[in-house]
Amino acid sequence: MTRFVLGRIGFSTLVAVLLAFFTLPLLWLVTAPFTSNPTYEVTVPDFTWDNFAAVVEHPYALPSLWNSVVLSAGTAALVVAFAALAAYALSRVRLPGRDALLYALLLLSSIITGTAAMVPLFQLAVELNLIDSQFGLILILTGGLLPAAIFMLKDFVDATPQSYEESARVFGASPLQIVRHVVVPLVRPGLATIAVWAVANVWGNFLMPYLLLSDVRKQPAAVITYTLYTEGGQANLSMLSTFGLLYSIPVVLMYLFVSKKYGFRFHGGIKR
Amino acid sequence: MAQAISPPEAPKETRTGRYSSDAAGLGKARAGVFVAPALLLVAAFLVFPALWVLYLGLTNYRLTGAAAAEPEFVGLGNLLGAVADPAFWNSTWLTVQFVLGSAVIGQVGLGFTIAWLLRDRRGPLKRLVEGLVILAWILPGAIVSFLWVALLDRDGGTLNALLGLPGFAWLLDHPMLSIIVFNTWRGTAFSMMLYGAALSNVPPSHLESARLAGASSWQQLRDVVFPHIRGHILTNLLLISLWTFNDFTPFLLTAGGPDGKSEVLAVHVYKVALQSGELGHGAAVSTIILLINLVVAVFYLRLLRSRR
Amino acid sequence: MALRKRVVAVAVAAGLGLTACGGQSSGGGGDAIELTITQNAIAGGKNAAAAKFVADWVIPTFEAAQKAKGKNVTVTFIPSGVDDEQYKTKLSLDLKSGKGADVIDIDGIWAGEFAEAGYLKPLSEVVGPEADAWDGWAQIPEAVQGMAEFDGKKYALPVGTDGRVLYFNKSLFAKAGLPADWQPKSWQEILDAGAKLKSAGVPVPIQINAGTAMGEATAMQGVLPLLAGAGGEVHRDGKWTGASQPLKDALGLYQKIYGGGLGDPRLQQEAKGRDKSFQQFAQGKIGILMEGDYFWRGVVNPKTGVAKMADRDQAVGYALIPAIEPGKGIRGQDFVSMSGGALRTVNPGSKHPKEAFELLAFTLSPEALKEETKDGNVRVTPRSDVNKEILAGEPLLTFISEKVLPLTAYRPPVAVYPQVSVALQEATAAVAGGTPPDQAAADYQKKLEGIVGGAGNIAS
């Protein structure tokens, strides 16, 4: 009994500390948008809506959020679909050089996110006529994310038992049907994780969209965020904080949706 | 390169051997078709440009100036130049601290702790904790840097106000500690999600029987959970380390300063490649990062294989 | 089965996408001429007023004028509005690939490196003889023209220029018993004023940018004007300046300010230190601040500034930056300054260079410049004829235009300059952190040798 009580107390303390740690830096994001002339100081706001009005009037701010949704949803969809197929095949069939290839790709994927890769990627996009195309940008971003996605998903597929697949096969299901109706439900938490991860990666990506999309009406919110500065490079804190708050709402909604619909509620589908 | 990478094959096989036979009757040809779309995109938009970067590392290419028009082949000149630069070694050492502190201890440790604490919970508390952790991860870097300046600022910062330490310059006196804590805050979500999903795949019946047999929490972790999620731990460590090695966000907080005291390698590359325009030199440093990552990957593989 | 078909379809579509989609077509068929113009400006963000001006006035007015001439020209503005480094990266990549807008704004300091890389060509080659024959040249001072030149050829038209002065807080000065029309004649007088401010309880008597965190602001509003004040230039007659006496003198002043308690060395290290220096000046915590005219127009501007000072016109004074001692500055001057400025040019890959140049010249015509600088957007334009009219009610800008520009200097427009600048910033950081100036200067020389390709390129 004492052990139980101590455990409860320990748990509550730990959770309280965690909540404090993760909440504290976010305070500014909650107060500054409602403050007129905000500074770096967290103060009790005077609850003005002027900052929101300014963001709504901004010609590119709200449309850019939609572009972010398009880019991240498109990339996440491609990453999940292609990674799922590849991870399943790589998990179930021994293709020659499989593991070495995966590791090599994973290592190369880290170089592509670096600053030094922008010239090759840009020139490649020029040659392939992918400049100023959201679809082209989605393809490029997908290519960079796929190795890590396959890598992660393969773990999930590896961990699922094959007995269901065998039974499905006995009933004459094709491999694709098996993937769709048997494997996908089993690895759903993994797919949800990959999807959220892909969205997070694209959501904050500035450099590639900026370089590859020249039409400002196609650019995502990450690029627009960087424009909320003055001539001398001083931050426009009222716009930045307000836009930042709006910028974070879609991903919070997405998280709530994913976690409710697919994510962490599932217990792998394995028989208890 | 291929040779250096080959060790992974063995552990992978043992790890996955149990389920890896072709139960669905896929066959090699169809497996190839399944892999093809991913491989195509990866080949075009990852392998090709990455090899290009490796090549750029062997030239004196610059973004502008005469060397942009006619880059010259300098062989290993950039690499040798980088290795002879004390700033590079300073950055490497800082990066090791950064990866160990914020990725391995911070994100993996905290991420697993949260996933483990919340594994059997439902409802608003779990949502709240997970939501906040994920918010920290998913907010764009440009915004996050302002949040942390507001938190750590030496005059009006929230932290100093709470601790009653006006004027304490966290970012100047403890730049590494600041960016390590920052990156832990920022990146824990990924590990938490991965472990959350992995823990949900641990059959509850196994845990139940261990509990009935009187195993302590630690013993349950070690004997039941760990063997089940070993693969995920490997993947997680590997990915987190790789990403942290290449993480540029500390720049937004400290700009690599003061006086290079928080200039991790990714920031070093940014300064060399973007601010100074020396793309060849930057590419060479990227190549070195790649090699370090390779060593790290092989190390993790051996570590987790030997502890079977 | 259906899914496999879909996968194949996606793969094929992806393949097609590689060859079919994308690609903006400038120009096009028929007699319609499409032009694009880009600046690092965007509505609702960075340089919003400039973006608005191009979209709302330049484009409709220019299109109408062309229509009157019987030409069907449509102009599109491509906004940007990011960090200058990133804007430069994008321009470089665009120009390298033969893409980009027809009319492009660049920072004056990029002209040389863009020319060397072949990204820009002399205007007379791109456009023809009308570029050198442009009637505006006669109105632009020599020094400002020089910014647009490389190897004796004109690569662009100047868009504007600026200058650096010492700003001071008159109420703090009054408290310290210093005059409201303060004009120091030597560095010692600056230090003396700093000492008086300090004893009057001013927290930060002097702020002269130092360190790497402030980036180029440390060069332009810090070490370069001081170097000029000590009679030195960073690059002269094809050679770079190493650990010379002027550099040691400049670093010596840093030592006296930051080692002597007259400045706040921590502020120089903070990533957002320059922002904070502005806020502190506006809050009356800084006595003397070296800054460009942008500080007056965009920072403490009572209407639009980022650190507004309602009583700017009464509370903020300004003075020329003195040489170390009278007559000891560059060219034997008593006072010095540094200037930068933007350029506007025609993309060598433009399909319609003649029309692009017409647009370019139109944006720098007296009528356009007057329209642009209306309603509180006054700045120093490149044209003397326009400046005379628009600066009349602007004491600080008149001061810049009439007193500062004649004695100012420009940075060397070459590709390695950014690296040299970083090395200079590091030297100031070292001194602000306690390193003796001689040592910091010697370290700078060593780094400089690595940057510019050996001691042979450094003046002894």
Could you report the predicted ipTM of this complex, rounded to two decimals?
0.86
Confidence of residue B101 (pLDDT cuts 50, 70, 90): very high
Closest Cα in chain B, distance from residue C272 (Å) = 8
Closest approach of A52 to chain C, Cα-based (Å): 13
pLDDT in tens, A128-164: 999 999 999 999 999 999 999 998 888 888 878 888 8
Structure-model confidence comparison of residues A94 and C179, the more confident one: C179
Type of residue found at C136: G
Report the residue of chain A nearest B24, measured CA to CA.
A165
Arithmetic mean of pLDDT, A8-37:
90
pLDDT band at residue A233 using 50, 70 and 90 as cut-offs: low
pLDDT interval class at A25 (50, 70, 90): very high
Instruction: Kindly state whether C416 is in contact with chain B, defined as any CB-CB distance less than 8 angstroms.
Output: yes
Q: Is C306's CB within 8 Å of A230's CB?
A: yes
pLDDT at position C18:
40
Among B179-183, B211-215, C116-120, C283-287, name the one with the lowest average pLDDT. B211-215
pLDDT of residue A270: 32
The residue-averaged pLDDT of B34-49 equals 93
Look at B294 and B121; give whichever has higher pLDDT: B294
The answer, yes or no, to whether residue B258 has pLDDT greater than 50, is: yes
A73 at interface of C, judged by CB pairs closer than 8 A: no
Mean pLDDT of B274-301: 89
Task: Cis check for the bond before B166: say yes or no (omega within 30 of 0).
Answer: no
Does the pLDDT at position B6 exceed 50?
Answer: no
Model pLDDT, residue A1: 63
pLDDT of residue C460: 67
Buried b (16+ CB within 10 A) or exposed e, A218-232: bbbbbbbbbbbbbbb
CA distance C313 to C310: 8
Q: Which residues of B touch C89 (CB under 8 A)?
A: 63, 274
Segment C327-341 shows an average pLDDT of 95
C25/A contact by beta carbon, under 8 A: no
Split at pLDDT 50, 70, 90, the class of A262 is: low
Query: Which residues on chain A are in Cβ contact (under 8 Å) with C23?
Result: 129, 131-132
CATH for A62-213+253-261 is 1.10.3720.10
Interatomic CA distance for residues A184 and A175, integer angstroms:
12
CB distance C143 to C445 below 8 Å: no
Question: What's chain A's average pLDDT?
Answer: 85
Query: CB distance from A194 to chain C under 8 Å?
Result: no
Of A117-121, A227-231, B99-103, C348-352, the poorest mean pLDDT is in: A227-231
Of A116, A125, A107, the residue nearest A209 (C-alpha): A125
Amino acid at C336: V
Q: Which percentage of chain C shows pLDDT scores above 90? A: 73
Cβ neighbors of B249 (< 8 A, separation 6 or more) are: B141, B144, B145, B182, B183, B186
Contacts of C271 in chain B (CB under 8 A): 149, 171, 252-255, 257
Residue B177 and residue B93 in contact, taking contact as beta carbons nearer than 8 Å = no
Q: Touching check for B76 and chain C: CB below 8 Å? A: no
Residue B12 banded pLDDT, cuts 50, 70, 90: very low
pLDDT at C23: 37
The token pair that represents C299 in the structure block: 């920072």
For residue A140, give how far its alpha carbon lies from the nearest alpha carbon of chain B (Å): 5
How far apart are alpha carbons C392 and A89 in whole angstroms? 76
| Interchain CB contact of B30 with A (< 8 Å) | yes
Q: What confidence tens digit (pLDDT) does each residue in C88-109 have?
A: 999 999 999 999 999 999 999 8
Nearest to A162 by CA among B16, C127, C162, B169: B16
CB contact under 8 A, B151 and A28: yes
In tens, the pLDDT along C2-56 reads 444 444 444 444 444 444 333 344 444 457 899 999 999 998 888 888 999 999 9
Q: Which residue, among A9, A71, A49, A44, has the nearest Cα to A250 in the 3D structure?
A: A71
pLDDT > 70? residue A187: yes
- Partner A contacted by B240 (CB < 8 A): no
Specify the DSSP element, H or E, that contains C17. Answer: helix C2-20
Q: Does residue B9 have a pLDDT over 70?
A: no
Q: Is residue B69 part of a domain?
A: no
Is B68 within 8 Å of C118 when comparing Cβ atoms? yes
Q: What is the pLDDT of residues B159-188, one digit of tens each?
A: 998 888 888 889 889 999 999 999 999 999
- Asked if B143 and A14 come within 8 Å (Cβ–Cβ), the reply is no
What pLDDT score was predicted for residue C298? Answer: 84
User: Closest by alpha carbon to C408, among C181, C146, C78?
Assistant: C146
Q: Where are the domains of chain A?
A: 62-213+253-261
User: Edge-to-edge strand order for the sheet containing C103-107?
Assistant: C72-78, C32-38, C103-107, C342-346, C157-158
Q: Comparing B145-159, B181-195, C51-65, C157-171, which segment has the lowest mean pLDDT? A: B145-159
Q: For residue B75, is it within any domain? A: no
Which of B67, B257, B276 is facing C269, going by the closest CB pair? B257
8 Å CB contact of B158 and A156: no
Find where tokens 């005469």 sit. Answer: B66
Q: Is the pLDDT of residue A9 over 70?
A: yes
Let me know if residue B163 belongs to a domain.
yes
- Tens-place pLDDT, residues B198-243: 887 788 888 888 888 888 888 888 888 888 888 888 888 988 999 9
- Model pLDDT, residue B21: 63
Contact A214 C24 (CB under 8 A): yes
Chain C CB within 8 Å of residue B83 CB: no
CATH number at residue B229: 1.10.3720.10
Of C354, C287, C351, C355, which is closest to residue C75 (Cα–Cα)?
A: C355
Say if residue A21's pLDDT is above 80.
yes
- Least CB–CB distance from A110: residue in B42, B161, B293: B293
Q: C72-78 and C32-38 as β-strands: parallel, antiparallel, unpaired?
A: parallel
Q: Where do runs of H (alpha helix) occur along chain B?
A: 2-5, 9-16, 27-42, 48-56, 66-69, 77-83, 86-98, 110-117, 123-138, 141-152, 158-163, 170-173, 175-199, 204-212, 217-220, 226-245, 250-254, 265-270, 279-306
Rounded average pLDDT over A219-229: 89
**Cα B84 to Cα B82: distance, rounded to the nearest angstrom:** 5
Q: What distance in Å separates the CA atoms of residue C186 and residue C319, rounded to the nearest whole number?
A: 12
- Which residue is it, tokens 């460590």? B237
Domain region containing B219: 80-306
Task: Report residue A263's pLDDT band, with 50, 70 and 90 as the boundaries.
Answer: low
Asked if A254 and B134 count as a contact pair (C-beta separation under 8 A), the reply is no
With a CB cutoff of 8 Å and minimum separation 6, the contacts of C198 are: C205, C261, C262
Residues B12-32: what's their mean pLDDT?
62
Q: Which of A44, A53, A41 shows the shortest CA–CA distance to A243? A: A53
Q: Is the pLDDT of residue B276 over 90?
A: no
Q: What is the mean pLDDT of residues B35-43?
A: 93
pLDDT digits (tens, 9 = 90+) for A78-113: 999 999 999 999 988 887 788 888 889 988 888 887
B254–C contact, CB cutoff 8 A: yes
In Å, how far is C166's CA from the nearest CA of chain B? 26
Per residue in C375-430, pLDDT tens? 778 899 999 999 999 998 889 999 999 999 989 999 988 878 888 999 999 999 99
Helices marked H in C101-183 — which ranges?
A: 111-116, 123-126, 142-147, 170-175
Average pLDDT (C351-378) is: 93
Distance CA C83, CA A208 (A): 15
**Is the pLDDT score of A267 beyond 70?**
no
Q: How many structural domains are present in chain B?
A: 1
The beta-carbon neighbor of C271 closest among B44, B155, B257 is B257
Average pLDDT over residues B96-106: 94
For residues B193-200, average pLDDT: 83
Instruction: Return mean pLDDT, chain C.
Output: 89
Q: Who among A99, A120, A155 is closest to B52 (CB)? A: A120
pLDDT band of B3, cuts 50, 70, 90: very low
Q: Which residues of A touch C20 (CB under 8 A)?
A: 129
Cβ–Cβ < 8 Å for B269, A116: yes
A10 CB neighbours in chain B (<8 A) are none
Count of CB atoms within 10 A of residue C12's CB? 10
Cα separation values, B279 from A141, B131, C356, C446, Å:
21, 39, 32, 22
C193 HSE (CA, 13 A, CB side): 28
Domains of chain C: 29-158+341-372 (3.40.190.10), 164-338+412-459 (3.40.190.10)
CA distance A155 to B15: 10
